[in-house]
Structure 1
Amino acid sequence: MTNSKMTQWSLVSDLTTGQCSGFTKGFPHTLRCLLGDWLENQPWEFINSSDSFCVGLADRLLSAMLEKLQDLAKQNCQPGPILQLTANVEHTYRREPLQLVDAIKQILEGEQALLREKFQSLPLSIQQQREELRFGFYLQKVQHRVKEIMVLRDSLKQMNGNTRGSLQQRTLELQFPTQESLQATSLQNLHALFLEAAKELEETKKQVLMRFQIWKWQQQLAGNGTPCTEDLAPLQKRFESLVEVCFQLRQQLVASGTELSSELHLRLQERLDNVFSALIQNSFLVDKQPPQVLKTQTKFQATVRFLLGPLLLKPPHTTFTVTADIVTEKQARELAAGRPETILCESTGEIVNNVAPLETNTTTSTCCAIFKNMLLKKIKRCDRKSTESVTEEKCAVLFHAKVNLGPNKTTFRLQALSLPIVVIVHGNQDNNARATILWDNAFAEPGRIPFMVTERVSWKAMCETLNQKFMAEVQTTNGLCKEHYFFLAQKIFGDSSTRPEDFQNLKVSWTQFNKEVLPGRGFTFWQWFEGILDLTKKYLKEYWSDGLIMGFTSKQYVYSCLIKEPVGTFLLRFSDSEIGGISIAYVTRLPDGSPQVENIQPFTAKQLSIRSLADCVLDLKQLEILYPNRPKHEYFKCNAEVPRTTPYVRATMTIRVEEPFSSTSSVCPPGGPMVNMTPGIHSDPTFADPSLMSSSMGMSPSTTSTFGSPQLMPSSFGSHSDLPTCTYPLQPASSLGPTNALYSMQDILDEDMETCRSNNIAVYPRDMPFLMPPNMMGVPENIPPPSEQELVQLLHRDQDMNHCLLNLGSTMTNICS
């Protein structure tokens, strides 16, 4: 449905022949199959009259169809049946080509009805194709009217110069009263042709501006992550084509002279000027939008484009400049009301580097002004309602320029307003500002009064917005599903008793979205959702895309999924009590043997930046099978070893979960078992037993860090000898000499002390080198340095230090317990 290459015929070809062949008896279904996509690429459905243009277009389409069938016959090894069908079509419709148009319109309309029934609406690709065909039809029609005017005016000139020829022409008209002649000699016909041409020009202009509004709406949705790949080149071509037709019609109007009455001449001139002015104004647009959350004193970029620049500003021409100014919501409304002269009277803010030249690139056929280093120096806040915060205040950047166009150097004021912007002065305002922009981009009506947006939207529309934002930010094609929407609805409405289908009829307000805190929480719905979005984007993208994370679901639903599963079954869900957290729920057993579902304290970005989710899952022996029946080792892989690039040995960590029902475990804190990160020290294989080095250090080789309380706590060697550890490979990374012999810690200390003495570095007994800055910790310079005896007392001498190190682990264990 979203494939831009998908055509109507490629969709209906999957339907049964009976469905597709029953639309009309006047056009064989075999021909529909042979012509395929070509048939729907022609403007059949817009030929709705019997004037000269429509009859001529129908005749040309019939000829093109016959030529297409003849080419297919030449490519077929048995051309006879195709040639017979071709002959039948020509015999049936050559005299009345409009009957062919009616027959094909029935086929296409019937197919579209089937597609609407199957997909609820026509695919976007088919809608775009129809819109392009409509514009092409109206453009050809107004071009045809201009040619008719030119022919008629030439005929009038001949009539004025040759009265006899005029009498012969009138005699022909009387002999053939039903034939539409392009050489009509009546001034009334000329008046009618001019009025008809002006009307069709205005109708074509509406088609162009409608396409322009669609592009602006797509650009607005792109601010929330909706893909917007439409190129501006086709839109620019439409503007240029229509301006050229407008010029041709204006030339014929000027040349008509006394052939038209002065009143009609002035009325037509005004209508043409309005069309041209509208095309000029709307062809000036913001191609690259400035950031919609804009922080003061931060550089930003933007690009504006003049679609008619390559046509109207051909060299040599005067260099024009574009200026950018910040405007408030009130000023934007005055601009929309047609009062541009008053909007910049009051200073709203100051943008540095806010002027750029409007330059034409002949290679790419574009005319742009590029702002590379703009900076919002300051902003003047407006008066807000008592319930509004500064992050709900919207403004915009106005780009404006004055250009002189045409032989008379007529001055046109070009103006383009950016999408709404929220100005912040601190990073902690970013989250709420992004909520304001998300709501405005998703739910603002086209052509609204700046910057009005509805306060309440349907839950279905909110789901579509959240899904698109999630997929765009995470850069994944795996979006949210109906189970996720059900949980999100329960959370934002604070109702766990409503059925899923009942939420579809509810409306969610801006207040529920990002003003009211969730029940029992200290944050709003958007703050919670955006935290998960950021966590997934940075650390969980691959796991989410591979379908390893259940995600948005409640503990109750997780319990119902896991309670009947084998011990060791687990799943991953986003925390609903903490911003930006993911928790692991797994099945374990109570002391009496009954199953129990436990939830591990959520992992946040802080923990996952140290240890990846895959490594955490692999570390925990309690986790064996990812729900429903996927062995974890098949879906979670260890991170590859990073080659050593520094003189330091690498240190890694492992985690463990303390079983809450184990007799040796400590008391389980609220919210589930604690997860501990435990780094350990292992030696390189070239060394001897690592315990020798550990014992010579006089301290434990392992430390423990608890998620939620990220403190590294030394522990004794024996008290936690059963904990999983990882290695600190000791490699030849220092200047202590070759590593083929085992150095004791005492040897290393003695050698380091000797090195320090040789370099006049102060060395304290039984310690590593220690440099004392002259004014460390802000101590006044007039305080004398400590004596050697005082330093020795501070360091507790050898026996005090050794006693402390040997008992440090057990002491800390007692403190923590």
Structure 2
Amino acid sequence: MADMMSECMDSESTSAFSPADPSIDSLFFSKHNLSVETYQIFKNDVDVLLSGKAALAEQPMFIQKIIRTCHEMLATYEDEKAYLMSDVLCTWAMRQQKVSIGTLWTQQLHYNQLETIHQEFEYFGEVLQHTISGLEYLIQFFPAQGFEDMHAKFKQMAHYFLYYSIIVARQPPSVIVKCGEAENHRRSRFWFNTEIRVLGGRAFGLETTGSGIEVQCYLITDETAKQLLNNAYFEIFESEEFSIEPPTANFHVKEHRGLKAKFDDMRISKKVQLRRESVATKRYCLCYNIRLKTSCGIDLVGKKVSLPFAVLVGPKSDVEAKLFLERSFADLVRQPLSEIPGHVSALEMADQLEMKFQAIVETPQKSTDGPAIIQPRMFTSQAKEHIIKRLKPSPQGYIAIDNFMKLPVAEEFQQKKTNTTEGDWKLVPFFDWFFKLAETVNKYLYHMWFDGLIYGFCGKEEAEQLLRSVPRSVLLVRFSDIEQGKVKISVKNSLGEMRHHWYEHSDLNARPLSKELLSNPKFSDIELIYPDIDLEVALGGRQKPRRNLPKHLQPNDIYFDNQGAATSAF
């Protein structure tokens, strides 16, 4: 029997523990090698003991040596485990929170990093499982020698490691809106996907024992989520206002890339009629009920909770802005349901605003349109600098969160409900100005923005300075800093004269800007779109002037002296 156990240990030791993939980070490589080296000492001594090569008188010495090696392994394994959990997985999860407000392309790029992390978890899981297996052999042949205590400690480590290796790999969006066509169907406007994933776990048989196991998903309030932080066994009750579809998914393994439970095409459904204000201030989470068991008898039972999100009965930009700040700057990974800090780094704010702008621009126009995973257009450093200046950063490079929500940066004329000609100018805070521009690009300027024909964030003086640097007639399409939602066309004609023309979003709805730039006489002598893009080549060529056909009645010229069209293209 001892020979058979020794052979089994030999077969286990042939597994390649040391990472060979260049994507594995060097710090993990060094920590894992220390674990493997310590394990190899343990294994060699166990081989001698189990194979009968050690004389009876030498066995107590080998047993004590193995016990000492076990203590060393506990320290080195704990160091590697802590690195994987804190430095690798926690860092990934914190970044996941931030990119969750971005496009699907940005989120997918970050999600792909899990392949490397999964591999690192597999390496550690293998050496940990082999250690536990070796201790089980020792307990069988050398009971009551101290191996039971070591076995319990390593098994406890494995339980912690495996349970926290189960993660919410894909998070729900920060805001789920129920509006438009969806109101008739009582479901959220756009579907979304979430995923539970087990990192590593193959050495413990989870890919075999877990395949086909069902995972239940509940929609809970943030109050219930707080209860779960204090009591993991707290009984879950579903939200009274909403339910989640689908409520279950099953774990599966595909292409040896880990155990995953995919909740595809998720939607939120209303249970009762709701007022917009009644739910706007509430936060919800998805709670996944996990029940897995390893091949060595470790039960992995518990609940995994998603990042908080809002469910809106209709669009509400201030709530969306608040959720943007929560996902971008609150420490929700290390301190779930924590508050937003009062000040944030200007550089970090610029990066988050870029991702949010991209996400709004890439939002499908209709609920029937599938979201496309394409690389979004990035902000230039000039655009980021221009945006951040509008938020009035401190000399130390920090931005007050209140500036994002409250600082007025533009104006908008609002007509009185009782009078179509009178109204008042309303100050527009930064978030409203910024979101409105992204929506305008999404609805009216998407292709021009994606093709780089819109310069974007730029003031009047800066635009004139840029145009002067171009020797030919040129125009620059930019967003208005002062007037809410307007697009400005800054022009330098062939004589070097500067002019600025503006368009309302209603104008852009009437005719695409690309056609307007080609057909409007104000731009007829313009050759380039800044900096050096041929206007006609980029937009498809100007229309030739129409030849006026002779009228049958032929009135004289004086007849038309005081007449003109009541409407124009704009």
TM-score (norm 1): 0.52
Residue 345 (structure 2) aligned to one of 450, 458, 472: 458
Question: For the residues of structure 2 that align with 1:202 and 1:366, how far apart are their CA atoms?
Answer: 23
SS at match of 1:445: coil
* Contact residue 284 and residue 415 of structure 1 kept, 8 A: no
Residue 306 (structure 1) aligned to one of 175, 198, 208: 198
Does residue 416 (structure 1) correspond to residue 304 (structure 2)? The answer is yes
1:350 and 1:266, CA in 2 relative to 1: closer, same or farther beyond 3 A?
Answer: farther
Counterpart residue number, 2:269: 377
Question: For the residues of structure 1 that align with 2:113 and 2:468, how far apart are their CA atoms?
Answer: 53
Pairs within 5 Å for 1:146-165: 146-154=42-50, 158-160=54-56, 163=57
1:401 and 1:546, CA in 2 relative to 1: closer, same or farther beyond 3 A?
Answer: closer
1:220 alignment partner AA: Q
SS at match of 2:233: helix
Question: Displacement, 1:424?
Answer: 0.9
Question: For the residues of structure 2 that align with 1:628 and 1:373, how far apart are their CA atoms?
Answer: 41
Counterpart residue number, 1:336: 229
Pairs within 5 Å for 1:773-792: none
Does residue 574 (structure 1) correspond to residue 479 (structure 2)? The answer is yes
SS at match of 1:246: helix
Question: For the residues of structure 1 that align with 2:510 and 2:282, how far apart are their CA atoms?
Answer: 38
Question: Displacement, 1:195?
Answer: 0.9
Residues matched between the structures, number = 497
1:565 and 1:207, CA in 2 relative to 1: closer, same or farther beyond 3 A?
Answer: closer
SS at match of 1:617: helix
Residue 321 (structure 1) aligned to one of 214, 219, 235: 214
Counterpart residue number, 2:399: 508
Question: For the residues of structure 1 that align with 2:348 and 2:88, how far apart are their CA atoms?
Answer: 23
1:318 and 1:545, CA in 2 relative to 1: closer, same or farther beyond 3 A?
Answer: closer
Q: Deviations over 1:210-244 (max 9, x none)?
A: 32223323422332334425253443333333333
Does residue 224 (structure 1) correspond to residue 101 (structure 2)? The answer is yes
Question: Displacement, 1:541?
Answer: 5.0
Q: Deviations over 1:639-696 (max 9, x none)?
A: 489xxxxxxxxxx9x9xxxxxxxxxxxxxxxxxxxxxxxxx9989xxxxx4634xx79
Counterpart residue number, 1:436: 322
Counterpart residue number, 1:237: 119
Counterpart residue number, 1:752: none
SS at match of 1:691: coil
* Contact residue 293 and residue 300 of structure 2 kept, 8 A: yes
Question: For the residues of structure 2 that align with 1:621 and 1:235, how far apart are their CA atoms?
Answer: 59
Counterpart residue number, 2:502: 601
Question: Displacement, 1:389?
Answer: 10
SS at match of 1:572: strand
1:315 and 1:598, CA in 2 relative to 1: closer, same or farther beyond 3 A?
Answer: closer
Counterpart residue number, 2:551: 691
* Contact residue 219 and residue 244 of structure 2 kept, 8 A: no
* Contact residue 563 and residue 597 of structure 1 kept, 8 A: no
Does residue 394 (structure 1) correspond to residue 283 (structure 2)? The answer is yes
1:213 alignment partner AA: C
SS at match of 2:101: coil
Pairs within 5 Å for 1:110-121: none
- % identical aligned pairs: 19
Q: Deviations over 1:240-287 (max 9, x none)?
A: 333333232223323334998969545423421222112221232223
Q: Deviations over 1:761-810 (max 9, x none)?
A: xxxxxxxxxxxxxxxxxxxxxxxxxxxxxxxxxxxxxxxxxxxxxxxx6x
Counterpart residue number, 2:259: 367
Counterpart residue number, 1:85: none
Pairs within 5 Å for 1:466-545: 466-470=353-357, 473=361, 475-482=375-382, 484-493=383-392, 503=394, 505-518=396-409, 520=411, 521-541=426-446, 543-544=448-449
Question: Displacement, 1:196?
Answer: 1.0
Counterpart residue number, 1:617: 517
Question: For the residues of structure 2 that align with 1:622 and 1:228, how far apart are their CA atoms?
Answer: 46
Question: For the residues of structure 2 that align with 1:490 and 1:235, how far apart are their CA atoms?
Answer: 38
1:600 alignment partner AA: H
1:190 alignment partner AA: I
Question: For the residues of structure 2 that align with 1:717 and 1:232, how far apart are their CA atoms?
Answer: 73
1:582 alignment partner AA: V
1:157 and 1:549, CA in 2 relative to 1: closer, same or farther beyond 3 A?
Answer: same
Pairs within 5 Å for 1:635-650: 637-639=538-540
Question: For the residues of structure 1 that align with 2:239 and 2:448, how far apart are their CA atoms?
Answer: 50
* Contact residue 410 and residue 482 of structure 2 kept, 8 A: no
1:146 and 1:445, CA in 2 relative to 1: closer, same or farther beyond 3 A?
Answer: farther
SS at match of 1:238: helix
**Once structures 1 and 2 are overlaid, which stretch shifts more, 622-631 or 575-584?**
622-631
Counterpart residue number, 1:190: 66
1:207 and 1:146, CA in 2 relative to 1: closer, same or farther beyond 3 A?
Answer: farther
Question: For the residues of structure 1 that align with 2:396 and 2:209, how far apart are their CA atoms?
Answer: 61
Question: For the residues of structure 2 that align with 1:138 and 1:415, how far apart are their CA atoms?
Answer: 33
* Contact residue 209 and residue 294 of structure 2 kept, 8 A: no
2:337 alignment partner AA: F
Question: For the residues of structure 2 that align with 1:629 and 1:378, how far apart are their CA atoms?
Answer: 49
* Contact residue 617 and residue 636 of structure 1 kept, 8 A: no
Counterpart residue number, 2:335: 449
1:424 and 1:505, CA in 2 relative to 1: closer, same or farther beyond 3 A?
Answer: same
Question: For the residues of structure 2 that align with 1:406 and 1:491, how far apart are their CA atoms?
Answer: 58
Counterpart residue number, 2:40: 144
Larger Rg: 1
* Contact residue 286 and residue 305 of structure 1 kept, 8 A: yes
Q: Deviations over 1:292-349 (max 9, x none)?
A: 3113522544332234566524657795321111233333334334x11226258565
Does residue 202 (structure 1) correspond to residue 78 (structure 2)? The answer is yes
Question: Displacement, 1:610?
Answer: 4.0
SS at match of 2:25: helix
* Contact residue 477 and residue 545 of structure 1 kept, 8 A: yes
SS at match of 2:161: helix
Question: For the residues of structure 2 that align with 1:466 and 1:398, how far apart are their CA atoms?
Answer: 29
Counterpart residue number, 1:666: none
Q: Deviations over 1:172-219 (max 9, x none)?
A: xxxxxxxxxxx9935432221111122222222223323222332342
TM-score (norm 2): 0.72
2:456 alignment partner AA: G
1:400 alignment partner AA: N
* Contact residue 207 and residue 253 of structure 2 kept, 8 A: no
Which structure has more relative contact order (CA 8 Å, sep 6+)? It is 2
2:30 alignment partner AA: R
SS at match of 1:216: helix
2:404 alignment partner AA: F
1:471 and 1:133, CA in 2 relative to 1: closer, same or farther beyond 3 A?
Answer: farther
1:259 and 1:194, CA in 2 relative to 1: closer, same or farther beyond 3 A?
Answer: farther
